[in-house]
């Protein structure tokens, strides 16, 4: 297996091709001071090549920019943790704005998707997990990401933060080959939950996203979350759930194909993805990653903020036995949250958040309420909640019994 993205090209040429495909859609933005810039026409296949002048124009625009004024910012390091957990953070910011340093590696690893069927994937990940880790900042902070691509990687990678502004969400400035690293600093100007994902260009974009390379960035308002009347809302815990659609190639007998190394599934995967029918839609990387022994834990009276990311495909979370007391369906914390939703809609390519306070103990299933996807494709999690049962809310008046005919 050779490095696969654009075989036969040297690194410099490959970089031009791939960056070219990345910046193609942004050509118009750069065009204000650039001769011959014009919008792509018609249905837009990602071009294989972009003129050298356009790449240079981008570099010149960036080279002319004034340095950012970072006076008054405090540097802090945020240690990222694996989903479904959240890094240590403040809900209401104290002190002034910060530069939040985070570190991620683009790890390629073999993951079991479903133990029962033997389904597995050479996942492309941020820090080894699907989804990638939750990153948290406050509005007005900077996020300063060091992104490193290990030397033994097959692929080049980058990151597009939907929360950020410019350069394709940072994708054009973070494109790294195996053995490279890049540092990107961007200002969190909009509060909300936002998808981030790898987007290395052309067909590699859906390939990487559908191999797990996506996650959530949360930007909290400096004074914390609020209901629609300005009252503060706080949570006791975060449940960070990434829903991942996989398109795993199958053998003729219906079994799942296996591959020796990352990237060997490339052509088979593209063919499977073109059908638009996922073989799996799972929470946190695998069937059962958040059920049974791996269930999320809580207790009566606790408030959970459920953050749901889906970088590629629409979904509709539902907490069976509970509700979305406050729901930021499209993710923006500038908008008043909706209340008392039964099911909420997460657009493909976005994150959303819902807050609920548990009122009864027991097992709650958190599902994609396309129940075919929940039950047959894997999109189910469990909350196991401890506490006292409240008969005033629900009571089994008669236990199941045989009735007299
Ligand atoms: Cu990638």
Task: Determine the distance separating the centroid of ligand 1 and the alpha carbon of 74, expressed in angstroms.
Answer: 31
Residues forming beta bridges with residue 381, ordered by sequence position: 366
CATH of the domain at 195: 2.60.40.420
Are 378 and 252 members of one domain? yes
Q: Is the pLDDT of residue 228 over 60?
A: yes
Residues annotated as catalytic (active site), given as ranges? 157, 160, 162, 197-198, 208, 213, 318, 342-343, 369
Nearest Cα neighbor of 95 from 73, 77, 78 is 73
Task: Determine the distance separating the centroid of ligand 1 and the alpha carbon of 302, expressed in angstroms.
Answer: 37
Q: Which residue has the higher pLDDT, 9 or 167?
A: 167
Are 205 and 337 members of one domain? no
Please report whether residue 399 resides in a domain. no
Q: Please say which residue of 182, 199, 224 terminates a domain.
A: 224
Task: Determine the distance separating the centroid of ligand 1 and the alpha carbon of 206, expressed in angstroms.
Answer: 10
Looking at residue 50, what is its pLDDT?
64
Task: Determine the distance separating the centroid of ligand 1 and the alpha carbon of 179, expressed in angstroms.
Answer: 14
Are 57 and 79 members of one domain? no
Please report whether residue 393 resides in a domain. no
Lookup: tokens for 239 = 């449940």
Q: Is the pLDDT of residue 123 over 90?
A: yes
Residue-wise pLDDT for 289-317, tens only, equals 999 999 999 999 999 999 999 999 999 99
Q: Which helix (H) or strand (E) holds 60?
A: helix 52-64
Lookup: tokens for 264 = 């060997």
* Number of domains into which the chain is organized: 3
Please report whether residue 402 resides in a domain. no
Q: Which residue has the higher pLDDT, 233 or 28?
A: 233
Average pLDDT of the residues of the chain: 90
Are 91 and 196 members of one domain? yes
Task: Determine the distance separating the centroid of ligand 1 and the alpha carbon of 135, expressed in angstroms.
Answer: 18
Lookup: tokens for 300 = 């009566």
Q: Distance between CA atoms of 53 and 99, rounded to whole angstroms?
A: 34
- Decide: 197 and 125 in contact? Cβ < 8 Å: no
pTM recorded for the entire structure: 0.89
**Structural domain containing residue 53:** 11-61
Please report whether residue 69 resides in a domain. no
Other CB atoms within 10 A of residue 250 CB: 13
Are 103 and 214 members of one domain? yes
Residue-wise pLDDT for 257-283, tens only, equals 999 999 999 999 999 999 999 999 999
Are 307 and 246 members of one domain? yes
Q: Distance between CA atoms of 108 and 126, rounded to whole angstroms?
A: 9
Task: Determine the distance separating the centroid of ligand 1 and the alpha carbon of 212, expressed in angstroms.
Answer: 9
């Amino acid at each position: 297996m050779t490095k696969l993205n654009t075989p036969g090209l040297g690194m410099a040429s490959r970089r031009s091709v791939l960056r070219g495909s990345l910046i193609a859609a942004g050509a118009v933005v750069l065009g204000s001071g650039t001769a011959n810039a014009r919008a792509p026409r018609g249905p837009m296949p990602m071009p294989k090549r972009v003129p050298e002048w356009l790449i240079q124009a981008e570099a010149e625009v960036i080279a002319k920019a004034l340095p950012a004024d970072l006076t008054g910012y405090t540097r802090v390091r945020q240690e990222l943790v694996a989903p479904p957990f959240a890094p240590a953070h403040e809900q209401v910011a104290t002190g002034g704005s910060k530069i939040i340093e985070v570190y991620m590696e683009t790890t390629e690893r073999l993951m079991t998707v479903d133990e029962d069927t033997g389904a597995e994937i050479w996942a492309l990940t941020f820090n080894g997990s699907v989804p990638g880790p939750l990153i948290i900042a406050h509005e007005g902070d900077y996020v300063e990401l060091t992104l490193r691509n290990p030397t033994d990687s097959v692929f080049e990678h980058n990151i597009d933060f939907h929360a950020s502004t410019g350069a394709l969400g940072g994708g054009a400035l973070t494109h790294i080959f195996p053995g490279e690293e890049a540092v990107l600093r961007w200002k969190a100007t909009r509060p909300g939950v936002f998808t981030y994902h790898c987007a290395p260009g052309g067909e590699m974009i859906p390939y990487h996203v559908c191999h797990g390379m996506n996650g959530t960035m949360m930007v909290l308002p400096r004074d914390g979350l609020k209901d629609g009347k300005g009252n503060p809302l706080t949570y006791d815990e975060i449940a960070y759930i990434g829903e991942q659609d996989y398109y795993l190639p199958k053998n003729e007998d219906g079994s799942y194909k296996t591959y020796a190394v990352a990237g060997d599934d490339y052509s088979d995967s593209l063919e499977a993805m073109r059908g638009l029918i996922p073989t799996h839609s799972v929470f946190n990387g695998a069937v059962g990653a958040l059920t049974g022994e791996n269930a999320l834990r809580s207790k009566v009276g606790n408030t959970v903020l459920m953050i749901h990311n889906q970088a590629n495909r629409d979904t509709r979370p539902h907490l069976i036995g509970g509700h979305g007391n406050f729901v930021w369906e499209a993710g923006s914390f500038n908008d008043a949250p909706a209340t008392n939703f039964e099911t909420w809609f997460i657009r493909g390519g976005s994150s959303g958040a819902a807050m609920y306070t548990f009122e009864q103990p027991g097992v709650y299933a958190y599902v994609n309420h396309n129940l075919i996807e929940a039950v047959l494709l894997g999109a189910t999690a469990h909350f196991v909640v401890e506490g006292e049962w409240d008969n005033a809310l629900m009571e089994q008046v008669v236990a199941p019994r045989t009735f007299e005919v």
